[in-house]
Each structure stands twice: as structure tokens, then as C-alpha cells.
A and B are shown apart, each in its own frame.
Chain A
Amino acid sequence: MPPPDSAVGIVALYPSLLGTYADGGNVTVLEQRLAWRGIPAEVVTVEVGEPVPATGDLYVLGGAEDGPQSLATDVLAADGALSRAADRGAVIFAVCAGLQILGTSFSVSGGRQRDGLGLVDIATRRGERRAVGEILVEPTPDLGLPMLSGYENHGGVTARGPGVEPLGRVAYGVGNGDGTEGFVRGRILGTYLHGPGLPRNPALADLVLSWVAGPLEPLDDSDAAALRDERVEAVGRGATSWAKRWLDRRSRVARAV
């Protein structure tokens, strides 16, 4: 066994609160991709009432419903360790409600606006329509990523402040609501992509891991590549016929519940 301090420390934050859309799969993917390369990793799962480890290398947050999202924000703010981790340059990967939590504010039940953790200069307000459906993202070129594919299901419209780059431009779907998707600021990355996002996009998983573990040898991801091609084609089929396009719009405008 390697000494414990050489293992990559992955911290899964409140999976029972921030796991509505199966984003726990992202943690599985991060852990496995290290294991397959023989890089030791230790996953610490933190639930409410437990302290957030101060020395993690990579903190992971997932999507949630309004109530649990607010609760997670309160306990993270009270704990303080995530903010200190961000200050010392730890990597944070956050999805959907998790993305919103990292910003300065977001909206909760009844349209009320509340404070986020303020780790990143982004702010989320409630959109007019919930964004539900397949999403394709053309990543910001300097990230060196292929087209990203996922599934989005959120009511938030997220505005980025100066100096906060998007993860990419939306080729299909809604994303942040202004034609961009997610954000990258330093070693903090946020996205609306479920699916979950990392199994659907192994190159994104490796980008995040490389910030912690350095350059990584490639893995055989042919099954994920074929899946991505299938999803791109499925979205493309919807966009070639006007009838399908109309139906698609109708089905994507889910009832705002």
C-alpha cells in the first residue's frame, strides 16, 4: 500500500442531498479512472453532520432539489472547509445545483433569491422555463476537449462575472441560458451536464483529474465514444425535420413545477 498522503483524495459532498440526478456516478468515474491507471485514490463521502475534510484534492458536488440544495449550502457555509480548500487551489467539480451553490446567489422555492458560497463570481436566477433535454456543448478551445454531451434538467439561468470563462458554447440545448454552458475559473469547474456528465465525457473527467494527478495515460473509452456519437446523432435527427423540431421544443418546455 502506498502511504496515505500519496493517494488522490476525492471528497464526495453530501451525496444524499446532492444526488438527485445520479451525479454520484461522477465520483465512481473519477475513482475508477485513477484505479485503472494504478493511481491510488481515497474517496471520502461527507454527509450532513460530518466535517468536510480540509486536505482533499478534489471536491465533487452534484444536482439537487431546492430544499436539499439550500440545506447543503447552509452546512457548507457553516463548515468553511470548502472555501478554504478553494483558496489553497484544490480542484472542485460541481454539477447543476452544485454549480449554483458555488456562486454568489441562486433562487429557491417561491422564486426567493438566497446567498451562495461566493467562491466564484456567478449568479443564478430562476428562468422562465425549465431546461429539460439533451445538451451538446462545443468546449472552450483552450481546454482541448471534444464535443461534450449530456442531459440537462434545471430552472436556473446563470450569469458569469468578468474573468469567469464558460466551459463551452451550447450547440444544442440551453445551458447557462445565454448560449454558454458552465464555467471554468482556475481549478473550479461547473456544468449543468447530467447523464452523468463524466461517464458521458471521459475527456472531461481526465481534464479534472489531470489538475490533481498530472498527465494521464489514455484509456480505452470506445464505448463512451460510441455513446457520445449516438447521442449527437439522436439530437441531429431531431434537428433535421421541422416536425421533430417542433415536437422537441414542446417536449423540452416542461411544466414549471
Chain B
Amino acid sequence: MLPARTRLAVAAGHAVSRLSRALGKGAGASVGGKTILALDKGAIAAMAAGRPIALVSGTNGKTTTTRLLTAALSTVGEVVANAGANLPSGAAITLADAPPGRRAVLEVDESHLPAIAAATEPDLVLLLNLSRDQLDRVGEVRMIAARWRQMAATLSGATVVANADDPLVAWAAMAAPKVVWVAAGQPWVADATSCPSCSEPIRFADGGGWVCSTGDLRRPDIDRTMLGDDTGLRLPGRANRANATMALAAAAVAGVDEEKALAAMADVGEVDGRYRTITVGRTTARLLLAKNPAGWHEVLDLLAVSRDPVVISINSRVPDGRDVSWLWDVAFERLTGRPVFVTGERWRDLGVRLRYAGVDHEHRPSVEAALESLPPGRADVVANYTSFQSLIRHAATAPEGATDAAA
């Protein structure tokens, strides 16, 4: 039974949430969760008590890994999860909607993870990767790693499932009492070239290992290797195999049969609009989210398998990061020679970047306008966070009956 104060806060949060939805202000989760936390600062801890909780955090792959882990854990019981709402308000409304005792899987913003972990006492913590993202808001990525390390030391009741291939993640997770080390890869190493512990250079081996040049810090021994590309996952690309491997490792710790877990994960075809296919005009377009250099690194690999036109949409609102300097960390040179269209609120920054990359491009007022101007065929759309959100809200058609509110 929840404390009276928490029950009151939850009732108020639900009321505000319903009002917000009725007024057409969106799904209402954020404002409902904020109401709960405003009325009862301890609500998350109270609502987390007595239920198993898995937390998923990292710069990239949080939402997808949360979805995959939810699918895997659902093979043995009912699971609640937050759909992309990864701030404390999202955790609050998700737990408020969950029956007592039910397993929860929560994706958590990197900078909020220590506080959420302290409040929820999770049994599973998945640490995916850390790289530069939203430097104006989040600050330096090493500071996040240091705060994760402090948190890890306090996780006495949890198994940490950590990406051993990312030196920042590994250094943080080494402080935890119990860790399952996964070789989930981290092709983007530009944020881990100097040791998080002593700042000396880190050397990366071709086989995936890494070691500080002092020899004092190195990749931990691996407990689980990366899934191959023959597992039948519908989600494309290396990054999603990494996400699935992390989710599978966590599901195994929770006692789930791995074959069943893998079958359930293989069935996930899109995640909150990511990888969805839409049809606009005579063009069938695949929607991809990329919001930072590490994410783009993986997406450029996905794009490289075809010569289809690419539409890129870039915004710089608060959730995107106000600073778009990061566009210069992306190897857009790889798009040379194929049709490229630029849009979004910061299309001019992108245009200048593409000129120096030697990539011919044209501006269009919107993604839809770009797709409508194409001859019949396929295309890829790559958008960063808020431009992706507005895109899936306005997506003309959504095969498979999917909607952007899919939970």
C-alpha cells in the first residue's frame, strides 16, 4: 500500500494528465509526472518499492533497448515501461500507472540515472554507451561517467549489465559489486581516447579490446559476446544487434529463457517511429533517428547499403541541444554523389557543412515536401530528436497500424 501522500499525488497527477490530454496538449505523461513529483518528492521511491525494476541508460539506444528488454521480459510476465519519457517525470507517471509488484523497465536520461537508481533500488541496470551529446545542456561526458561510477558503488542489490567495449562505461561500472560484461562494441571512440581514470591515452586494439597506456585500466574480461547477424532481428544494423545483446544479457540475469527472449526481441519492428516506413507521394521512406555523432556513425553504415535519396532534418531545440557544432563531427562525405535534401530549423548549418563535405544538396521546407519532390522509389529520412518527433506526429501513413503514441 502506498503512503497517503503518494496516493494523493498520484490521483492529482492522473487528473492533470487527463486534463492535459482533453485540452489536446499531448499525451499528458510529462505534466502528470511533474505534478506527482511536485506533490510528493518521494513518490518514485514509494511506487518503486516491492517491484523488480530494470533501468536502461546511455547516450544512444535507450529507447530501443528498453523496448527489446520489455519484449524479452514479457515472455515470463507482465511488464510496464516508459515510452521515451526518460526524465524523472516519465518514471513517475509510468510507475503510477503500474499495478503493485509488476516488473518495470525504465529508460533513464544519463544525467538523471544516479538519482533514479537511488530512488528505485533496481535489480538490473543496463549501461549502454557514453558519447558527446547535447553538450550545452548535459555538460562534459566524463562528468557523467564520474557520476555513474559513484552511483555504481552503491548498487548493492543490482546486477549491472555494462558495455565493456566503451571505456567510459566500463570505468564507471567497475565500481559496481556485480557486473555482467558485454562486448557490445562502441565504434565511436572519440570521447574515450584519454583514460577516464588518469587522462593518459587509451589504445584501442583491432579486435575490440582497449587499454590505458599506463596498463592500469583495460577492458574487463567478457561474459557475453555480441549477437551475430543471423538472429532474425527485424531492427537493422550493428547498433541494434548491440542493443539486443545488452537486453538479452539482462533478460538472462532475470531468469528468462534466452531462445524465447530472442524470438520476442526479433519481432520488434519499429520503436516509437524509428525504422518505420511511410509513404509520401510516390516515395516509400524509412525513418531513422540520429541525434549525435556516435548515432550518425551507425546510421551512415545503414545508409551505405543503398544509393537511395537521403532527407536530413536538423533542429536545435532544448532536447536536441542548442549547439549544432556536432554536425562537423559527422562524416557526411560518405553521402557524396547521392541525392540529398536538407530541412529542419537548422538546415542552413547543415547546408554549409555539406558544401565543405562536397555533398550537393537542395533545401526543402519540410521532410514531406522533400519526399513529394522525388521520383517513384525508396528514400531514407534521418532526423534529430525534435524534428523526428514532429515527423512521426505528422507521418501521413503508418503501415502495421502503428501510431506515435505506441507504448
Contacts and interface: CB of A to CB of B under 8 A. Distances in A.
Interface of A: 16-17, 19-25, 28-29, 32, 48-49, 65-68, 70-71, 130, 132-134, 151, 153, 194-196, 199-200, 223-224, 226-227, 230, 251, 254-255, 257
A49 B328 contact: no
B199 A254 contact: no
Given A133-B322, A257-B140, 17 more contacts: A16-B190, A19-B190, A21-B323, A22-B328, A67-B194, A71-B200, A71-B201, A130-B139, A133-B136, A153-B135, A153-B323, A194-B325, A196-B328, A199-B353, A200-B352, A251-B322, A254-B136
Interface in B308-362: 318, 322-329, 348-349, 351-353, 355-357
A224 B352 CA distance: 6
A98 B200 CA distance: 18
Contacts of B194: 17, 48, 67-68, 71
B352 A199 contact: yes
B41 interface: no
Contacts of A200: 352
22 contacts: A21-B135, A22-B327, A24-B328, A25-B328, A28-B328, A29-B356, A32-B356, A65-B140, A67-B199, A132-B136, A151-B325, A195-B324, A195-B325, A200-B352, A223-B351, A226-B348, A227-B348, A227-B351, A251-B322, A254-B136, A254-B139, A255-B139
Q: Which of B136, B325, B327 has the most CB of A within 10 A?
A: B325
Contact of A68 (B199, B322, B348): B199
A132 B136 CA distance: 6
B103 interface: no
A22 B325 CA distance: 6
Contacts of B328: 22-25, 28, 196, 199
Contacts of B196: 67
**Interface of chain B, helix or strand or loop or mixed?**
helix
Contact of B136 (A23, A70, A153, A230): A153
B146 to A, nearest CB: 9
Contacts of B355: 223
Q: Which of A66, A230, A257 has the most CB of B within 10 A?
A: A257
Interface of B: 132, 135-137, 139-143, 190-191, 193-194, 196, 199-201, 293, 318, 322-329, 348-349, 351-353, 355-357
A151 B352 contact: no
A132 B322 CA distance: 9
A195 B348 CA distance: 12
Contacts of A65: 140-142
A49 B323 CA distance: 32
B140 A28 contact: no
Contacts of B193: 16-17, 68
**Interface of chain A, helix or strand or loop or mixed?**
mixed
Contacts of B327: 22
Given A20-B140, A254-B136, A257-B143, A227 B326 contact: no
A255 B328 CA distance: 25
Per CB-CB distance, the 7 closest pairs between chain A and chain B, nearest first, are A25-B328, A257-B139, A67-B199, A16-B193, A22-B328, A227-B348, A22-B325
Nearest to B138: A257
B356 A199 contact: yes
B312 to A, nearest CB: 15
Contacts of A227: 348-349, 351-352
A17 B191 CA distance: 8
Nearest to B189: A16
Nearest to B328: A25
